[in-house]
A and B are shown apart, each in its own frame.
Chain A
Amino acid sequence: MTTLMDKRDVSRTERAAPRKKRGLGLRHYNYLGGLGGWLWLIVVLLPIYWIVITSFKLQSDYYATNPLVPPSNPTLENYRFVLENDFVRYFVNSVIVTVGAVGPAVLVSFMAAYAIVRGSAASRFLRGVNGLFLMGLAIPLQAVIIPIYLLIIKLQMYDTLGAIILPSLAFAIPLSVLVLGNFVRDVPKELFESMRMDGATEWGTLWRLAFPLTRPALVTVTIYQGLTVWNGFILPLILTQTPEQRTLPLALWSFQGQYSVNIPAVLASVVLTTLPILTLYIIGRRQLLSGLTAGFSK
């Protein structure tokens, strides 16, 4: 999910400079690439177009009309139906889980990243911590889901939102530490030095120096982990049971099982669960994409 291994391109600035010259000599248009690019755009957008138009169709129209033609009499009936079926509750659950996991995860990761960058030279423990998180990247959540299930039962947290929050939080840490560490490392040493001269504590330096300087990376990591947790499926599936504790992806799935005959309603619920994410993407896309390419291929 990241280009963490791409450490080789650190000399980006010096290489990137002459890049603009490229293309000057290319006089002819890249027809093949253009064709492929637009073709893929259709592959990407066609299902999305279909979801949206179908969600405004009456169920009878769905069976009677061409799937690709927009409804002649669009209806909001499906959306009303979905919203009456506890959509708001699942939405709130998803928000609680995402905020509850990602907020603390990014905070503790940032502290750990700072400690690793600042203290590794002198502390064998911190070098070990660094190694731990690097190895941690290789542990797939699915592979340890059974002991996590056991652990959650023993903690008497089964079927609570906390059961989803704790493992989500933990599994957001390794990657966050790695990415944030790369950014903290870029803070010039002189700045740390002068903070120290001024008598600032490490805690003060963390907040007054490192935090503002790594803010773009923090935002990117937050968005990225937020997306992962928001879309999480296996944890809610295994660690919760009652409808009251469902998050959106799981609600979507059970909704589909329940109302599989009412495809337009199911698709309306897909639209509703996707809409918040798409909105956030439209707002924060610049940050996310540039953060992903810069931070993750660092």
Chain B
Amino acid sequence: MTIAPPVVHTAPPAASSGGRSGSVTWMAWPAVVAFVAFGVVPLIGVLLLSFTSWNRLSQDIPFTGLDSWRTVLSDPQLPHALWVTFLIMALSWLFQTPISLLLGVFIAAQKRYRSVLAVLFFIPLLLSQAAISITYKALLDPNFGLGAGLGFEFLQQDWLGDSTLALCVVVFVVSWQFIPFHTLIYQGGIRQIPASMYEAAQIDGANRVRQFFSITLPQLKYTIITSSTLMVVGSLTFFDLIWVLTAGGPGDATRALAVDMYQRGFKADLMGPASAIAVILVLVGLALALGLRRLGGRDASASQLEGV
């Protein structure tokens, strides 16, 4: 899962005397070296590799210009992968946002049993995506899984064998894991809403539903944007889960961008095109993150600065 670039807030200068800063600069070096070596250099590397036809079996990396890009951009697999990625993104947003929002409202209240629930809600976040996918794969088995146990006809389907259903399963399993996290974000956001607003609304005779739509939702605007950014940008990089659950199948029904990259690079030994896909992945992610930040508008950064 990736992290969206956060709204940049300039750090308030804390150092006192200018001349002394030389003595702290070295402390930043180990972190910088480590991150440049495995974060920044590879980022440049992936762009360079997209202009080669490295096949990972040979030592030399032949430069082939735009060949990989031509291959990728003319391949009907790319629009498909983009479409699948978009579907997973949109559906998981639609599924996760209302549930996390409502659960957030629910557990934000000061009730003891609700904080116990919050603790249990968190469990899916602890499990590895490999473990979760393996579990759901077995759980959804048409003959021996949950469907057979509950006896509901509609649950006894070949969930992972049907294109549409497999995509829905991916969306559900992703949501199952990440709803707890977004619930936590919303819980935090809701607790920031001044109680006086609700009191005023109550005096005016607004009922609970009205309060939710007139106070809670508008006040959560930036929390919703934050949570959505994380969901949307994070969904670009779903790999573990899809790979273990469906391996991109059936056919290429769940072959999202990250899976497509892995297939091309590490299964088909075509590192050039795979790198081009990786570059596209980064660009789409950046565009989405910036776009969502724009949604927050000017007042977003204004209100974010006001507390600093």
Contacts and interface: CB of A to CB of B under 8 A. Distances in A.
Q: Are the chains A and B members of one assembly? A: yes
A67 B148 contact: yes
Nearest to B277: A143
A109 B29 CA distance: 10
Interface string A144-167: 111111110000000000000011
A144 B198 CA distance: 47
B287 to A, nearest CB: 11
- Chain B interface size band reads 35 or more
A68 B146 contact: yes
Nearest to B7: A5
Interface string B26-65: 1110111011111111110110010000101000000000
A140 B189 CA distance: 26
A173 B12 CA distance: 21
A143 B121 CA distance: 30
Interface string B4-24: 111111011111111111111
Given A129-B28, A263-B138, A281-B122, A146 B196 contact: no
Given A192-B16, A233-B240, A25 B208 contact: no
B105 to A, nearest CB: 7
Contact of A23 (B2, B103, B110): B110
Interface string B108-144: 0110001001111111101111110011111101001
Contacts of B99: 40
Given A5-B229, A129-B32, A134-B6, A253 B106 contact: no
Contact of A147 (B46, B179, B192): B46
A23 B109 contact: yes
A127 B222 CA distance: 26
A278 B285 contact: no
A234 B239 contact: yes
Given A115-B27, A171-B39, A18 B194 contact: yes
Interface stretch (B81-89, B157-165, B258-266): B258-266
B77 interface: no
B103 A36 contact: yes
B35 A170 contact: yes
A214 interface: no
A58 B292 CA distance: 51
A137 B4 contact: yes
Contacts of B121: 40-41, 44
B71 interface: no
B184 interface: yes
B42 to A, nearest CB: 4
B126 A227 contact: yes
Contacts of A266: 134, 138
Contacts of A88: none
Interface in A257-298: 263, 266-267, 270, 273-274, 277-278, 281, 285, 289, 292-293, 297
Contact of B131 (A20, A50, A273): A273
A7 B226 CA distance: 11
Interface in A1-26: 1-12, 15-16, 18-23, 25-26
B138 A138 contact: no
A75 interface: no
Interface string B60-98: 000000000000000000000000000000000000000
B275 A277 contact: no
A289 B114 CA distance: 14
A180 B236 CA distance: 27
Nearest to A11: B307
Given A40-B99, A117-B11, A146-B265, A7 B305 contact: yes
Interface string A125-137: 1100111111111
Interface in A97-124: 105, 108-109, 111-112, 114-123
B198 A22 contact: yes
Interface in B184-234: 184-185, 187-189, 191-192, 194-196, 198-199, 202, 208, 222-223, 225-227, 229-230, 233-234
A193 interface: yes
A19 B35 contact: no
Contacts of A274: 126-128, 131
Nearest to B148: A67
Given A234-B240, A248-B128, A175 B3 contact: yes
A285 B184 CA distance: 13
A252 B2 contact: no
B286 interface: yes
Contact of B21 (A48, A119, A129, A166): A119
A201 interface: yes
A63 B188 contact: no
B274 interface: yes
29 contacts: A5-B222, A5-B229, A6-B226, A7-B9, A7-B304, A8-B222, A10-B308, A22-B110, A44-B180, A45-B120, A47-B136, A62-B144, A66-B149, A67-B146, A68-B149, A132-B35, A137-B6, A138-B233, A144-B46, A147-B275, A170-B35, A189-B14, A193-B16, A202-B23, A206-B27, A233-B130, A252-B131, A273-B131, A293-B188
Q: Which 9 A-B pairs have the closest CB atoms?
A: A147-B45, A121-B13, A10-B307, A170-B38, A231-B128, A122-B21, A67-B149, A4-B6, A144-B42
Given A108-B31, A136-B40, 9 more contacts: A18-B195, A48-B123, A50-B135, A69-B149, A112-B32, A129-B32, A140-B285, A151-B45, A289-B119
